[in-house]
Structure 1
C-alpha cells in the first residue's frame, strides 16, 4: 500500500525528472555556453579536455552562481517574496558577460515561464515572475518552478544541475566531437561531482560571478565564423 506521504514524494520526484529532462521545451539544446568557442580555440579538443572544461564550469559557475540563485528563488517563491525575486533576477542580468549569455538566460527563462503557466496557471508565483523586467531569467524561474512543483530544495538543485550537465554533455558530443560512449563517461564524471556542487550552493551566503575564461570564450563565440550553437 502507498501512503499519502509516499505518493506526494513520488509526485515531487516525477516533477523533478520532468524539470531535468532535455525534452523540456526551453531550447537548452541550442546553447553550448562557450564550449563551442573553446573547441574553436583548441582549448577543448578531446574527452579529457571536455571533462576538465565542464567540471570547472560546474564548480566555478553552477555551484557558485546559478545554483545559489535557484536556491534563493526556491525559497522566495515559497515565501511569496517579490522583492527578493526581483533582486535575484537583476543580479543574473547584471552578471552576464556576453550578449549571447544574456540572451540565453532570458530566452530560456521566458520559455520555462510559458511552460509553467500552461501547467499550473493558478500558481501564486506566476504574477511575480511575469512582473520581472525585461524578462525572468533561467535560474530564477527554475528555482520557482521546482518550488511550485513541490520539490525540496536539495533534490531540486540536484535535478537542475543534472539537467545542465546532460545538455552540456550532448553539446560536447556534437561539437568536440565525441562518441556517445565517451559522452556517457563525461556525464558520469559530472554526476559524481554534482553532490559537492549542490552542497557548495546550499552553503553559499550569496551568489558569486567570476569565471573570466568562460566570459572571454562566450564573447569570442559572438564573432565566430562557423557555429552550431547560439552561445
Structure 2
C-alpha cells in the first residue's frame, strides 16, 4: 500500500459520487477479476479516479493467477455477480499466507456461495449487489487500511454439540463437502446412487444444513475436512 498521488487517468464520465470524493488516503494496486466490457472499464475508471492503480484485469482464473504472480498486487477485486468459478479456482491455487487481500462484489441472493469461500480466510470485504461507487470505494479503503469487514450475514452464535455421527454419516458429509456426486460415493459404498442420494438428503435435513456452504462449514468445524 502507498500514499496516493494525483491520478493521471482521464477516463470518461464517472458517477458523481466518485468524482466528488477526495483521493484515497492509502492507495492500492488492484487486480480486477471480472468480465470484459463497459462495466469493467467503468469500475477501473472509478478506482483510478479515487487514486488507486488498476494493474490488470481478466475473467480467466489461469491468466489472473499468472499475472498476480508477476505483479505486486495489494488487492484482488472479484466481481461474483456473473459467477464464482474463476475465483474459486484462483483461491484454490493461491497460498493462504501470501498474495493479495480479496474483496468480493457478491452476487444477488446468493450469500451462501460467498460464504463457502470463507474457510480459506482470504475475503476481507464484501460489496452489496446494488452498491454505488461510494460504497465500493469505502470497502476498498477499509481493506487498504487493514480493516476487515464483518461478513454480510449473521454469524452462528450457538455451538451446540452435533448429533452423534456414524462412520457412514461422516463419509456422506465428507463426500458432499468435497463436491462428490451421489453416484461417485455409491461406487465406494456398494450402494446405488439413488440410495446414497436419499441418505445424504436425510442426513443434511437432520443436521439442518440447508446448502453446500453450510455443509462445508459444519465439516470444517467438526474436523472432517481441513481448509487446505
TM category, shorter: under 0.3
Give me the TM-score of the superposition, normalised by structure 1.
0.25
Structure number having the greater strand percentage: 2
Q: Greater relative contact order: 1 or 2 (C-alpha under 8 angstroms, separation 6 or more)?
A: 1
Give me the TM-score of the superposition, normalised by structure 2.
0.25
